[in-house]
Amino acid sequence: MTARKTATRRKTASKKTTRKTAKKSARKAAKKRGRSARERARTAVDDALGRLEKQVPKNLKKSVREFRKNLRDMQRQMDKAQAEREARWKKREHQLRRDAARLLDRLEKAVAPPASKGSRKKAARKKSTRKKA
């Protein structure tokens, strides 16, 4: 083969690998963008412990593996507790908003100017019919 053909083939091959690498890195970047800081930190710690497990002697590998498992379990428990806390908070917040709206309605009725006598009788009749039903 001539030097020119060889150089052309190298360029083409390098372009393909560059494109593949660019696509792969773009996918990784998009995937990383979607994760929270907590997830990124958790993954980084887990990866580091995995590398450590490979580097330590055999008698310590079991300890590192158990540590990773316990750490994952603890993180799972913390996530569950946080989700429960947020659910309780939302429930209480919703109840407080509802109570505040109810109190505001009562206050508006108390402050509102007195209605004419005719409209009072209509309101009284409506209430009395509601009670009977």
pLDDT at 127: 56
Residue 23 lies in a domain: no
In a domain, 131, yes or no: no
**Residue 69 belongs to a domain:** yes
* Residue 37 confidence (pLDDT): 84
Residue 6 lies in a domain: no
Does residue 4 or residue 56 have the better pLDDT? Answer: 56
Percent of the chain with pLDDT over 90: 38
In a domain, 13, yes or no: no
Is residue 51 a part of any domain in this protein? yes
Distance CA 21, CA 13 (A): 12
Find out whether 59 and 81 touch, Cβ atoms under 8 Å: no
Residue 33 lies in a domain: yes
Question: Structure pTM?
Answer: 0.48
Instruction: State which residues form the domain around 39.
Output: 29-111
**Backbone CA torsion sign across 8, 10, 13, 17:** negative
pLDDT at 23 over 90: no
Number of domains within the chain = 1
What does the pLDDT look like over 68-112, one tens digit per residue?
999 999 999 999 999 999 999 999 999 999 999 999 999 999 998
| Residue 12 within any structural domain of the chain | no
